[in-house]
Structure 1
Amino acid sequence: MGRRDYNGQDLPDGIEGVTVQSVGDPIPDDLRVWRPETVVHLAWSGIPDYGAECSVANLEDQLRFVNQMIGIGSVRRVVGAGTCFEYGSRGGPCTEDEDAVPSSYVAWAKQSLRRYLLLATDDSPIDLVWFRIFFAYGPGQRNGGLLPSMLRTAASGITPELKNPDGAKDFVYVDDVADAFRCAVDPGSPSGTFNLGSGQLASIRDVRDAAILTIEGRPVDEADFRPVSAETAEREMCASLERVSEVFGWRPSVALDEGIRRTWDAMCEAGPSRDGEGCPDG
């Protein structure tokens, strides 16, 4: 719900069956009459504002929506978008059964929403699937996102400057994330909390260099992404994929080099666009 989708793009007009509204608004009567059974909830406003005021406002809107959704009476499954930030300031592989201690307001708000959903649906027939998404990227990502900004800067003939070249992230392509959500909406599939990532770290420097090669039309392959140092691996978080692979049979299929190329191709096709709201980048 909302005038923009979770990647910050305006929704096209005239789509049959689409109702556009803000998350905290009353659910329209025609939606109640329709009696939905599955809710895929991706909305989050104000990104990249991860501060207290924006996070609290989001949480309040989300709770109003959740209470209305439960009140419809027909919903049996909720699939929600969390964030790897829920794990806080830690490094190494993150597993879903560990204590997640958020260290930012947006992570606290996401974690609070998840816990509220668990409590609110505990005595109901509603199953909850919660995906902790790592650093999703791809077509439709907001202009201010890491990879789009690198690609645009490189395309202007300037080498992107890096604040933390030795940093590293667990990047996961948007189509792979979408595939996981498709698995989760199956009413016969298990519920629970699951990581969505690649399970590997890629250095910011290597991603920048791959973006430059892509702009120049030179080949990029997985060999261009070197293993990060032991120190970096201990400092930066990545996703353990054991649970999501076992339960849903899901693993990412789009390699980072291919994902960067697809992102650039989509940016060229779309032309200039403005920044917007979207999912937390992680």
Structure 2
Amino acid sequence: MTLETRRKALVTGATGFIGTPVTEELLARGYAVTALCRDAGRAEAWARARSAPERVRVLAADLDTLSDAQMADLAGHGRILHLAWGGLNAFKSPAHLDEELPRHLRFLTRLVQAGARHLLVTGTCLEYGLKEGPLAEDLPTDPVTAYGRAKDDLRRELEPLCAAHDVALHWARLFYMRGPGQAEKSLLSQLDRAITAGADSFDMSGGEQERDYLPVAEVARLLVRVALQDRVTGVVNCASGRPVTVRALVEEHLRRRGAALRLNLGHYPYPDYEPMRFWADTTRLAAALAAYDASRADQDAPDRA
């Protein structure tokens, strides 16, 4: 693999909540980034706003409409980070299994068959199902949502495919994220709207459930560092490893905003698709980050020529 190829990264879903900070992380490490996305107009404006727009190339296309020549071009990128996925506002929707799963499997299969060699795909903590406590990657998966099942099925299909084609597969299981661009229906987005509207109170669950949260910028740093090393492959939890209650998260956000809202605790029931207490075991993540640090001079130093 040439130095030029190694310094090229493909990011699907690049303009999204996670994709934008991931792209910035790659640019900061001297990579040229191809952003694969559907909306050409939005993507071009997004590319111009990046820290190094001259190293961002936009390819506006649907995953299902790419030609064989385009697939060969994409497969030639030294690192591929597949972040795209639709319907994330409805975890129980059958569309995750009926539409998203076959669509993404077709795309990734074509990439592998076209010669891709390094692939990171984002999974989800919902693959673990209703297990409680610290969740390690070797636990059996038992998803109870359509989204979790679709991601788990995709991983099960990709693992033997990548092994047969000598592709390094990183399956990055994401937990909970917060930050600019998060979904409008997310907890903190709703809280921000209540603050802006001058509301006196905020309706929420009892808030005692424990979750694993990170700022999305930190998640992006973890994803890029995992993707740029080859020693630790397979499933890697990308999270903090530290549980926090949802109530504590909300109260801390209110302090950061300097807002005083009465929390109407218990207004909503706890979700039936999540356990009360779960967070990531980050042992494998620590090993992957150590491997990245060890190989940083070779893989991540900006070109000096």
TM range, smaller chain: 0.7 to 0.9
Q: 1:32 — aligned with what?
A: 72
In terms of fraction of residues, the more strand-rich structure is 2
1:105-116 → structure 2 map (5 Å cutoff):
105-116=146-157
AA aligned to 2:44 is D
Secondary structure of 1:160's counterpart equals: strand
In 2, distance between residues paired with 1:2 and 1:182?
Answer: 14
Q: 1:224 — aligned with what?
A: none
In 2, distance between residues paired with 1:180 and 1:8?
Answer: 13
Secondary structure of 1:122's counterpart equals: helix
Q: 1:18 — aligned with what?
A: 58
Q: Does 1:51 align with 2:92?
A: yes
Gaps of 5+ in 2: 1-11, 21-38, 48-55, 261-274, 292-305
Secondary structure of 1:249's counterpart equals: helix
In 2, distance between residues paired with 1:82 and 1:50?
Answer: 13
Number of aligned residue pairs: 234
Contact 1:183 1:189 in 2 (8 A): no
1:30 deviates by 4.1
Sequence identity percentage: 24
The C-alpha deviation readout for 1:138-171, integer Å capped at 9, x for no partner, is 1121221111211221232222211232222110
1:38-77 → structure 2 map (5 Å cutoff):
38-56=79-97, 57-73=99-115, 75-77=116-118
1:91 deviates by 1.0
1:58 deviates by 0.5
TM-score computed with the length of structure 2 as normaliser: 0.70
Q: 1:237 — aligned with what?
A: 278
Q: Does 1:150 align with 2:161?
A: no
Pick one of 183, 186, 190 that aligns with 2:232. Answer: 190
Q: Does 1:160 align with 2:176?
A: no
Pick one of 145, 152, 173 that aligns with 1:104. Answer: 145
In 2, distance between residues paired with 1:214 and 1:31?
Answer: 45
Q: 1:221 — aligned with what?
A: none
Q: 1:260 — aligned with what?
A: none
In 1, distance between residues paired with 2:183 and 2:60?
Answer: 20
1:23 deviates by 2.6
Secondary structure of 2:185's counterpart equals: coil
1:118-267 → structure 2 map (5 Å cutoff):
118-158=159-199, 159-186=201-228, 188-216=230-258, 235-249=276-290
The C-alpha deviation readout for 1:113-148, integer Å capped at 9, x for no partner, is 111110211211201001111101111212211112
AA aligned to 1:197 is A
1:195 deviates by 0.7
1:112 deviates by 0.6
Higher relative contact order (CA 8 A, sep 6+): 1
In 2, distance between residues paired with 1:2 and 1:214?
Answer: 30
Contact 1:2 1:21 in 2 (8 A): no
AA aligned to 2:121 is G
In 2, distance between residues paired with 1:12 and 1:140?
Answer: 15
Secondary structure of 2:152's counterpart equals: helix
Secondary structure of 1:131's counterpart equals: strand
1:36 deviates by 2.1
TM-score computed with the length of structure 1 as normaliser: 0.75
Q: Aligned in 2, Cα 1:155/1:211: closer, same or farther, shift over 3 Å? A: farther
1:106 deviates by 0.5
Contact 1:6 1:43 in 2 (8 A): no
| Of 20-29 and 137-146, the range deviating more from structure 2 | 20-29
